[in-house]
Chains A and B, each alone.
Chain A
Amino acid sequence: MEVFLEVCSRLTDGFINAFFLFILTLVFSLPLGLIMSFCTMSKFAPLRIPVKLIVWVLRGTPLMLQIFAIFYLPGLLRLFVWPQMNTGWEWFDSTFSTRFIAALVAFAINYAAYFSEIFRGGIQSISQGQYEAGQVLGMTKSQIFFKIVLLQVVKRIIPPMSNEIITLIKDTSLANTIAVYELIYEAKEFMTVDGLIWPLFVAGAFYLIFVGLLTILFNHMEKKLDYFRS
């Protein structure tokens, strides 16, 4: 029993780190993805083509490889080194380590690429008539986007977005390939140090419960937007 509590407590620490990686990835990748989706829909080729190429590479190569590349390449190519947090607050500095930041950057741009394609699909599925109705009523382009199109897009993209976001929480475990401390990292410690396998399954339960909560949240959002049909 004592061992079980010990395992749970340390896995919780690992989970908290995974959760930070998850949340921060969303914070950066959602707006970045929206900007990228506008770029890929732009009529201006010097903007559209490079971003399309970037999306292709990001979706076309394994995330694990991208994490490696982003962590090691800047140093190998002598471009820059990932910064080390130095606030003096030990918990903060160790949680947001150099490795964590490199992983976060990799996750954020990788997920931004996937999100941008979902946004693009959502935005392009809105009928031309909605834009034209806004136009003839004298609205500006940004008014049309924010007041008319956006909520309809949100409603349409909730199902694919929830899929992607659920995948993200499990993908955070890939960060341990560059030794970022997180849930699976901690569970593997039990295996290598204490010879215990079952903490890995407890870790699985952590993901499962969290995904369950996310599912409830997304269902709730879908219901919330059920009042209109477009």
Chain B
Amino acid sequence: MALLEVKNIRKSFGKSEVLKGIDFSLDKGKVLSIIGSSGSGKTTLLRCLNFLETPNEGTISVDGNIIFNAEDTHRMSDDEIRKNRLHFGLVFQQFNLFPQYTVLDNITLAPKLRLNEEKLTKDEKKHRIDCITENAWELLKKVGLTEKSGHYPCQLSGGQQQRVAIARALALTPDILCFDEPTSALDPELTGEVLSVIRDLKSSDSTMIIVTHEMDFARHVSDEIIFMANGIIEEQGTPEQVFDSPKSPLTRSFLSKSIESY
């Protein structure tokens, strides 16, 4: 069974329908890249998965459990939303690190706050905090920033900030990690370090959805490609299918344009 199943997601802002029925599924350990021109609804789709937007129609299931159903008449409580959205992690284009916390504290803040919701004895709590900190160091090693643990975000380059943001998202062990153009806000010479972290994640079997304009990267890191146009999935397939023999004329013209600008 697929880890993630998205069915008929529709989302409108006012009168304009931005997502017009999105269906796809994703297996555990696979990487899905979403490409498409500006305004096609890629960000909106990721935001729906992370409960930052509420779809008007459709369902989202993880591991066979429906975590979102627009039909469901009862409105989800804030607590339910918080629990369900933790199946997903999201790395933003603009990093959105917390400026007043050090790199290490950015990573440990949310996991530590989650401890407040469990009833723990003092010793248990201390033990859990130690685990969280240890895990954070582990993640810092993964993104190659152990020596920056005590720095503040303003003291880091964009590429380093984005790597911290990735570690921060991983600290909550999401089932599926989403990236919204993780390198678009970076200088070209800094994109490499971030992409290589994502590549490493792939080899450790993380399930990921990546919205990107880096066609070369998408081709090499992905198991599956979705090309979106005007709020629908125009074409879907393996990287070879989509990049080498696109069926849709829209895909073809998008790809030729993005190769030109490359």
B114 contacts which chain A residues (CB < 8 A)? 138
* A139 x B113 contact (CB < 8 A): yes
| CB of A89 closer than 8 Å to a CB of B | no
Q: Which one, A138, A140, A230, contacts B85 given CB within 8 A? A: A138
Complex CA–CA separation, A228 to B97 (angstroms) = 12
Per the bound structure, the CA–CA distance linking A135 and B81 in Å amounts to 10
> Which residues on A sit within 8 Å (CB–CB) of B98?
130, 133, 148
Contacts of B89 in A (CB 8 A): 136
Q: Are B96 and A227 neighbours in the complex by a CB distance under 8 Å? A: no
- As a 0/1 sequence over residues 216 to 230 of chain A, the CB contacts with chain B under 8 angstroms (1 = contact) are 000000000001111
Query: B residues near A, CB below 8 A?
Result: 50-52, 78, 82-83, 85-86, 88-90, 92, 94, 96-100, 109-110, 113-114, 152-154, 168-169, 172
Chain A residues with a Cβ closer than 8 Å to the other chain, count: 23
**B155 → chain A closest CB, angstroms:** 9
Contacts of A140 in B (CB 8 A): 78, 82
A167 within 8 A of B: no
Complex alpha-carbon distance, A148 and B99, angstroms:
9
Using a CB–CB cutoff of 8 Å, the interface residues on chain A facing chain B are 127, 129-130, 132-141, 143, 147-148, 151-152, 155, 227-230
Least distance between B52 CB and chain A CB atoms (Å): 6
On whether the beta carbons of B92 and A133 are closer than 8 Å, the reply is: yes
Chain A residue at smallest Cβ distance from B92: A129
Count of inter-chain pairs, beta carbons less than 8 A: 62
Residue of B nearest to A229 (CB): B154
Most buried by A among B88, B100, B154: B100
Rounded to whole angstroms, the CA-CA distance of A132 and B109 in the bound complex is: 15
- Whether A138 lies near B86 (C-beta < 8 A) is yes
Given A129-B94, A140-B78, A227-B152, residue A135 in contact with residue B99 (CB < 8 A): no
A132 / chain B contacts, CB cutoff of 8 Å: 52, 92, 96
Residue of B nearest to A141 (CB): B78
CB–CB A230/B99 < 8 A: yes
Given contacts A133-B97, A138-B172, 12 further A-B contacts (CB under 8 A): A127-B96, A129-B92, A133-B92, A133-B96, A133-B98, A136-B85, A138-B110, A139-B82, A148-B98, A228-B99, A229-B99, A230-B100
Name, among A152, A228, A229, the residue most crowded by chain B CB atoms within 10 Å (CB to CB): A228
Q: Offer 22 A-B interface pairs, CB within 8 angstroms, sorted by A.
A: A127-B96, A129-B92, A129-B94, A129-B96, A132-B52, A132-B92, A133-B96, A134-B110, A136-B52, A136-B88, A136-B89, A137-B109, A137-B168, A137-B169, A139-B82, A140-B82, A141-B78, A143-B113, A147-B113, A148-B98, A228-B153, A229-B99
Taking the closest CB of chain B, its distance from the CB of A108, in whole angstroms, is 30
List of A residues within 8 angstroms of B82 by Cβ: 138-140
**Shortest beta-carbon distance, B121 to chain A, in Å?**
22
Closest to B84 in A: A138
Chain B residues lying within 8 Å of A134, measured Cβ to Cβ, are 110
